[in-house]
Chain A
Amino acid sequence: MKILGISAHYHDSAAALVVDGLPVGAVQQERLSRRKNDAAFPLEAIEWCLDHAGLQPEDLDAVVFYERPMLKFDRILISALRAFPHGRAAFAHAMKNSLGEKAWVRGLITAQLGVPRDRILFTEHHQSHAAAAFLTAPTRRAAIMTTDGVGEWATLTVGRGERPAGGPIRIVLDREVRFPHSLGMLYSTFTAYLGFSVNEGEYKVMGLAAYGRPTMADQVRKVIRRTSDGAFALELDYFAFHTTVAQSYSRRFVDLFGPPRQAYEPIDLATPEGRRFADIAASVQAVLEEILVDMTRGLHAETGLPDLCLGGGVALNGVANARILAESGFERVFVPPAPGDAGSALGAALYADRIHFCNPDRDVPDHPFWGPSIDDDELARLAGEDGLPAATLNDAALVEQTADDLAAGKVVGWMEGATEFGPRALGHRSILTAPHDVALRDRLNRDIKYREEFRPFAPVVPIEAADRYFQLPPGGARLARFMSGVFPVRPEWRERLAAVTHVDGTARVQALERSMAPRLHDLLEAYGRRSGLPVLLNTSFNLAGEPIVNRVVEGYSTFRRSGIDVLVAGRCRIVKRARARTSLIEELA
């Protein structure tokens, strides 16, 4: 069967294609449209998936949308009615927004792809998250928890999944917490309060939290309290997201936490105000972890299962994931490389395949590389046109040369194979550099990534060496496979891993198995032979405000505009030639 999954309209839209039970392609729309967090109907992503598989839309047996748009509209409309008479703006916005396009998904898919209406299916938002987490994980039975801002009505669900050999596959979600009570919305509200963009700046809150102390945790517990049945409820007087589209928090929230940070104000951690913001970030992070750990502990006690699959945007919180692994009682925690809404495109397609069509189980390959591949010859052509010397080397020579570059303190743009599905660069579209030098880290922040200095960089290490440098608990290497957990750097290595060790002594480590990215694994070993440490700093190959690069030309333009010293794409390598702007203008004139 050929099943296309689609997620769209709210943030990071994506398409994924499943053929005979296995994914053949999955890509976020932003990687192709080059608009960060592109939420538009993912026509380019769909076209790529179909082209990649050599299919036409009429060849599809089903197209599955990742949520129920009318149920979502129902929630938006009822929320505006509940807020009466204060929900006027939300009502107007909801009507214009939803009735314009978002509520008519069946018609939209039919119009865009020409697929008959009866082949269009809809999963529930959290079913898609659950399927993306469970059906891609190497486990037969697991407890499932999905948590995000909101889907249709659910904001958090728990249940369990089973894939018995030869038996029917089941994903059963038992219960849910409903909007407006939401852990994702709680975190997003603090993200907005701290002056960062919602759905984009949550990483910043997590990074900032390490600089603070949870001195305001009690205040956070005032805005979210635990209910007697083990769930939670927001104190809605402190929030405004459920009544208005313009503001996440209310005046009472500001009375409790103090004035919010303006988006443009830099955070200066040397000032009392900067430390206040860090303490608030630490406090919301601590309370989030506390609730998640307690709920997963309850889920473990209830199911008695050793494995837990986490889905939804909140599963991107690596600090919380590591605490869940350590404290919930689960032996293994699985987080897919794309736990957010983009990954739901794949989840929806897999759910339809296994549950709706009752197709036999297949093990989904355990890697994130489902997107477009690079053209191996493109870099040589581009460099040639621009008069830059390019070297085409065999794999072994390229690895040795790149290891020399890294050992010499160079910053390397690294592109190979198919792009990652999900928000993290896991070795195919990465910027790599040495992990020991704080000056290099600062240069990356200042000249290449153009981002706040409090945000940490992540290390990548061969899985067989991970435990030597990082304190991975049992099951930690699994969580570190897709950079889903934050773990302590062993104290004796912190100085030599200074560029990837966060202020609290932790790192969001990627433990790389050779089979997942053999060439990067070779590079780590080659670098280890030179430096004594097979660890590299690995950050996504993009500049601030831009999506991760996809094609070679995008890597090349990023290389030309930033402080990256060396670019490797496929087997081709080019080196930066420093030129003054005036001499460039003269040459081009």
Chain B
Amino acid sequence: MQSPLSSVHRWVWRNARRRAKNLLRFAEVEADGGRDLVRAAEQTQDPLLRRLFLLHALDEQRHADLFRKRGLALMSTLPAAPEAASRTDWLTPGERGLDDLRVEQERDGALLAFLHLSEKAAARDFTHYIAALEGDPPTREVFEKVVHDEAFHMNYTRAQLLRVAPKDHGRLLWMARLRRLWSLYLRFAGALAAVIGAVVLTLQYFILLPPFALLARRAWAREPEGWTPIAPERNGQGGPSPLKRQY
């Protein structure tokens, strides 16, 4: 099925530099995902899950290597350039999408539900990227290899979810979906708050602070270079101990 965002995907992947940067970013996301899975393997008390999570982590590491190698190969064909102005992270999310995984806080069932949805979403996204990469067979091949592994990841997470939570798996999947939505909202709200905060602080900086800035600069100009003696009271000599102070 064609993605409603197919033209966006084509735009994102058309440019070779953007393509290379996205692949290198995916490499980092996969490596991070692998570390999360290692942590999950170290936390679980279920030996079968431990083995599966470790296997999955190795797959993620392999994917990271595939993405990194292809990204570097693409980079090496391009002339050196300053950092690209446009960032496309949010248009092409990697495997964990916009979610953070907090392994320590998860029970096995909730973690499996989360992983299942992540893998499913990644397989869907990567399939769309494959469609958008018809002009770049080597990159396409990388995604095809990754998507092949995602099928195994989707299947095992689903099967294990049914095993560890036979009566509860439907609820866990819905909870995971809601949590992804909540996480998306938090990211959006956080980004909006950051923008508002930056605007307010910028206004303060230019309206309220110029006199203080002037004083700070004048004081700086008078400051000698090189050594500055340390006052004896800072060493606790000749007065009460300064350890009670935060300043």
Using a CB–CB cutoff of 8 Å, the interface residues on chain A facing chain B are 34, 64, 68-71, 74, 78, 80-82, 84-85, 87-88, 91-92, 95-96, 105-106, 118, 121-124, 127, 157, 159, 171-178, 181, 227-233, 259, 262, 264-266, 352, 355-356, 385-386, 545-546, 551, 553-554, 557, 560-561, 581, 584-585, 588-589
Contacts and interface: CB of A to CB of B under 8 A. Distances in A.
A64 B234 CA distance: 16
B72 A266 contact: yes
Interface string B211-247: 0111011001001011111100011110001011111
Contacts of B58: 561, 581
Interface string B175-195: 000000000000000000010
A82 B215 CA distance: 9
Interface string B57-96: 1100100000010011001000010000000000000000
B227 A588 contact: no
Interface residues of B, number: 56
A88 B234 CA distance: 32
Interface string B110-142: 000000000000000000000000000000000
Contacts of A106: 246
B38 A557 contact: yes
A507 to B, nearest CB: 30
B71 A264 contact: yes
Contacts of A561: 38, 54, 57-58, 61
Nearest to B55: A584
Contacts of B31: 545
Contact of A560 (B54, B246, B247): B54
Contact of B213 (A84, A386, A553): A84
A231 B216 contact: no
A82 B216 contact: yes
B243 A588 contact: no
Contacts of B236: 355-356
B51 A386 contact: yes
A95 to B, nearest CB: 5
B64 to A, nearest CB: 10
B245 A177 contact: no
User: Closest 7 interchain pairs by CB?
Assistant: A84-B213, A227-B226, A385-B47, A70-B247, A231-B226, A81-B216, A121-B243
A158 to B, nearest CB: 9
B217 to A, nearest CB: 6
B210 interface: yes
A356 B243 contact: yes
A92 B202 contact: yes
A264 B68 CA distance: 9
Given A176-B228, A545-B31, A557 B54 contact: yes
A352 B236 CA distance: 11
A585 B246 CA distance: 57
A295 B3 CA distance: 65
Contacts of A227: 225-227
A88 B209 CA distance: 10
Contact of B47 (A80, A233, A386, A589): A386
Given A84-B205, A85-B206, 7 more contacts: A175-B227, A176-B228, A177-B227, A231-B225, A231-B227, A265-B72, A585-B55
Given A84-B209, A355-B236, A71 B246 contact: yes
A581 B234 CA distance: 62
Contacts of A228: 226
Interface in B19-38: 24, 31, 35, 38
Contacts of B223: 178
Contacts of A95: 201
A69 B247 CA distance: 7
Given A85-B206, A546-B35, A585-B55, A105 B156 contact: no
A88 to B, nearest CB: 5
Contacts of B75: 262, 264-265
A296 to B, nearest CB: 15
Contact of B205 (A92, A171, A230, A584): A92
B72 A264 contact: yes
B243 A122 contact: yes
A239 B194 CA distance: 27
A82 B24 contact: no
B165 interface: no
B99 interface: no
B166 interface: no
Contacts of A262: 75, 80
A259 B61 CA distance: 31
A172 B235 contact: yes
B35 A545 contact: yes
B234 A124 contact: yes
Which of A70, A122, A588 has the most chain B CB atoms inside 10 A of its CB? A588
Nearest to A587: B51
A232 B225 CA distance: 8
B170 interface: no
B106 to A, nearest CB: 14
A174 B246 CA distance: 21
Contact of B246 (A122, A229, A551): A122
A557 B217 contact: no
B164 interface: no
A91 B225 contact: no
B230 A91 contact: no
Nearest to A158: B227
